[in-house]
Amino acid sequence: MEELDRRITEQGDLVRSLKSSKADKDKIAAEVATLKALKAEREALAPSDKAAAASGPSTPKPDDKKAKGGFTLKNAKGTKDYTPQEMAVREKIFATIIKVFKKHGGITIDTPVFELKEILSGKYGEDSKLIYDLEDQGGEKCSLRYDLTVPFARFLAMNGKEYQNIKRYHIAKVYRRDQPAMTKGRMREFYQCDFDIAGTYDPMIPDSECLRVLTECLTALDLGDFTIKINHRKILDGIFEVCGVPTDKTRTISSAVDKLDKLPWEEVRKEMTEEKGLDPKAADLIGEYVRLKGGEELLERLYSDAKLSNSPRAVEGLDDMKLLFKYLNVLNVTRYTSFDLSLARGLDYYTGLIYEAVLEGSAPPTLANGEKARATMKKGTDELDESTVGVGSIAAGGRYDNLVGMFSGTNKKGQPNLVIPCVGISIGVERVFSILMQKQKRDEIKSNEVEVYVVGLGGVEVEERMKICTELWDAGIKAEFAYKLKPRTQNQWDVCDRDMIPFAVIVGGDEISKGLVKIKDMRTKDESQKGGLEYPRTEMISELKKRLAEL
């Protein structure tokens, strides 16, 4: 009965959520039917059960975990714990990305995990509903940060005199009240790795370097073949203008176009016309443009388009893209890109170049009829069915020239007091992590960095093993020993195998008295080493460093 009540409550929440978000009517009707069926099932229960249901939740049984003062042991929705093996992979991802960021002159900052609510409000378009609002604490209304870009713009607005020009990177957690798909790296709490260039420079030079940084990161992470889709907000706005989209609908129609990587054109058109009130003729004209993609050659086609050539905004965007391709060719980046007019990026703050990186396996699964699967919910829950969604983009970004000015206030002429143009990239660590974990076997992941294990034989006192470890640590070598006075020899070998420690330093009573140690390569199981090769104690450090340098 309790399980049935829980399912009814969850289904009711789902129906209310779909109605409030104005979801597809057929989907709402289907979920309402499920809710009615669950309620009918409860009504069909025996009278005694109905009476118990009417009286409220059942009394916990004596052996109920709650009755014993325990807790419900589960992760909050959209979050997870990471094992040592998983953290080893994640730390490698961070190190790889940071190395690229620093190679391009990046310096790091940090900002609070929550911001004043007014700082975040109105910056994310339709996705603003995904912001986590916090309880009022002492008169300040705050929200958890949705991304790292808006906090960076706020930082520049507060410190603009000192940081007129900065290459900044920031790796930190952000929060979104999205529907999670855990195995695809879509979560409510996740890391972003951002690299941004702020300052006034000649056109498209910083933009092209950001794309170079992105290609270096994705190549170094060894994720497989990837494509960076690129577009320009001014081109897109010019298309909407010549197709007859009212100015007040530009951003909402842009958000619909951005779904073309997940939905067929027919459904996107339906959203434009039926949900957002766009003239069907305007939608059809938009469809002729946004389904175009290609390379540098697409520029000439757009330049020669009679409609677009009459839009100064579109021509300005095309000029930017022409210059961008010139620089991308020099930086050896063009081969990774696709000029894709369906790319819109739903966030409101983008003003120019926009881009998004996808892998071959990023898209949703393909159905038998050749169409992409549409994301659906697990029956009876408000969670996504992960078999119907893809990983999505693994990185994205673009130019946002006006965001800092939004926080700086205005002068008597109504102009921002401070203007700092910016362009940047953001890499989604969770999606990268989910892909890399699928490629690796957990038992092949080394979760610690210990290089040497000190093995004591024949009852060697712990103090002797401590002395050797101290010598190793003083020399900068990562080492461990057993925390037992008289450890079993086999247990020490087992630790080496379990933690994939490459070398063992072996000491027994005879070795200590003669000033010797034995060094054994634990990666090889041949008989040539036997119990290890003997070296004078004075040569232990130099021999180990030589071997470690060869790893």
301 belongs to an annotated ligand binding site: no
How many angstroms separate the CA atoms of 482 and 393, rounded? Answer: 46
Looking at residue 295, the DSSP 8-state letter turns out to be S
453 belongs to an annotated ligand binding site: no
How many angstroms separate the CA atoms of 224 and 485, rounded? Answer: 49
355 belongs to an annotated ligand binding site: no
Segment 323-348, tens digit of pLDDT: 999 999 999 999 999 999 999 886 77
The label of the residue with tokens 């130099």 reads: 542
How many angstroms separate the CA atoms of 192 and 426, rounded? Answer: 6
C-beta atoms surrounding 163 within 10 Å: 16
Looking at residue 275, the DSSP 8-state letter turns out to be I
Segment 388-436, tens digit of pLDDT: 445 578 999 999 999 999 988 888 888 888 999 999 999 999 889 988 8
Range 373-379, long-range pairs (CB < 8 A, 24+ positions): 374/262, 374/263, 374/267, 375/262, 377/14, 377/31, 377/179, 379/34
pLDDT of residue 389: 43
pLDDT of residue 36: 79
CA triple 485-486-488, angle to 5 deg: 140
The label of the residue with tokens 């080394």 reads: 446
How many angstroms separate the CA atoms of 319 and 152, rounded? Answer: 28
C-beta atoms surrounding 114 within 10 Å: 19
pLDDT of residue 182: 75
Pairing mode of beta strands 452-456, 503-507: parallel
Range 21-25, long-range pairs (CB < 8 A, 24+ positions): 21/129, 22/275
How many angstroms separate the CA atoms of 454 and 159, rounded? Answer: 52
Looking at residue 381, the DSSP 8-state letter turns out to be S
The label of the residue with tokens 């409609």 reads: 307
Residue 376 phi/psi, 5-degree rounding, is -130, 165
pLDDT of residue 259: 85
Provide the H-helix boundaries in 271-390.
280-290, 297-303, 312-330
350 belongs to an annotated ligand binding site: yes
What tokens does 445 get? Answer: 């992941």
Provide the H-helix boundaries in 23-83.
25-43, 47-54
How many angstroms separate the CA atoms of 512 and 464, rounded? Answer: 8
How many angstroms separate the CA atoms of 169 and 153, rounded? Answer: 13
Beta carbons of 153 and 422 less than 8 angstroms apart: yes
Mean pLDDT by 10 residues, the chain (551 residues): 66 72 74 76 53 43 49 87 91 96 97 93 82 86 94 94 94 90 80 96 97 97 93 94 90 86 88 91 92 92 92 95 97 96 84 92 54 54 47 88 90 89 94 86 84 92 95 97 93 93 93 92 82 93 96 87
pLDDT of residue 197: 97
* Of the candidates 37, 29, 32, 40, the residue with the CA atom closest to the CA atom of residue 12: 32
- For residue 506, list its beta bridge partners: 455, 518
Beta carbons of 334 and 294 less than 8 angstroms apart: no
Output b/e per residue, 80-98; b: 16+ Cβ within 10 A: eeeeebbeebbeebeebbb
388 belongs to an annotated ligand binding site: no
How many angstroms separate the CA atoms of 342 and 346, rounded? Answer: 12
pLDDT of residue 370: 55
* Residue 461 CB partners (closer than 8 Å, separation 6+): 485
Which three-class secondary structure state does DSSP give residue 304? coil
pLDDT of residue 376: 56
The label of the residue with tokens 């104690």 reads: 537
DSSP assignment of 452-498 = EEEEE-TT--HHHHHHHHHHHHHTT--EEE-SSSS--HHHHHHHHHH
192 belongs to an annotated ligand binding site: yes
pLDDT of residue 361: 61
DSSP assignment of 166-229 = EEEEEEEEEE--PPPBGGGTB-SEEEEEEEEEES--STTHHHHHHHHHHHHHHHHTT---EEEE
- For residue 304, list its beta bridge partners: none
26 belongs to an annotated ligand binding site: no
Report helix angle 233-242 to 250-257, nearest 10.
110
C-beta atoms surrounding 146 within 10 Å: 22
465 belongs to an annotated ligand binding site: no
Beta carbons of 177 and 21 less than 8 angstroms apart: no
Q: How many residues are recorded in the chain? A: 551
Looking at residue 247, the DSSP 8-state letter turns out to be G
CA-based radius of gyration for the chain: 30
The label of the residue with tokens 């008295």 reads: 513
The label of the residue with tokens 């190793």 reads: 472
